[in-house]
Amino acid sequence: MNQAYLENGYVVLRNFFAADEIDRLKHVLLDFHHSWQRDNGKFYAGTAVNSAYFTSKEYLVESQRIALFNFIGTNKLMKVVKSVFQSEPCFMNTQFFNPVNPALKNYWHRDPQYHLSIDEHKSALEGAMLYIFAFLYCVNLA
């Protein structure tokens, strides 16, 4: 895996999680997303490309948040992370990319690109390495 990351900048693990692991996670994520949409429906339908901060206390109960953190920090996943990266992982945030407005492109971005100057951005990139874990799963959100 480390070699694939060094060559490509990413690693793809197909069917890494069992169906029951995915189902448990799916229910929590859908609960979050539907609750988030109730407060952000106009924004989501118009300009948003993502809902974010799944692990915040605003839209999930404690048991759901714990389920997410348990998934994120599972030994199975951490074994992969540690096989690819030398430094200890650190959790940053969670986002769900799925624009409902077909005119919007589904894009990934780094928030600092919007509020840092060029020099500040260069300085930030010289600090700790930031690695992105993308969990790709197609689900009907209706």
Phi and psi for 68 in degrees, rounded to 5? -65, -50
The rounded percent of the chain whose pLDDT value lies above 70 is 68
What is d(CA 113, CA 120) in angstroms, rounded to the nearest whole number? 10
Global confidence as pTM: 0.70
Q: 115 pLDDT exceeds 70?
A: no
User: According to the model, what pLDDT value does residue 64 have?
Assistant: 93
pLDDT at 13: 84
Cβ neighbours of residue 89 under 8 Å, at least 6 residues apart? 78, 81, 82, 131
Give the mean pLDDT of the chain: 77
Which residues does residue 50 pair with via DSSP β-bridges, in sequence order? 97
pLDDT at 23: 85
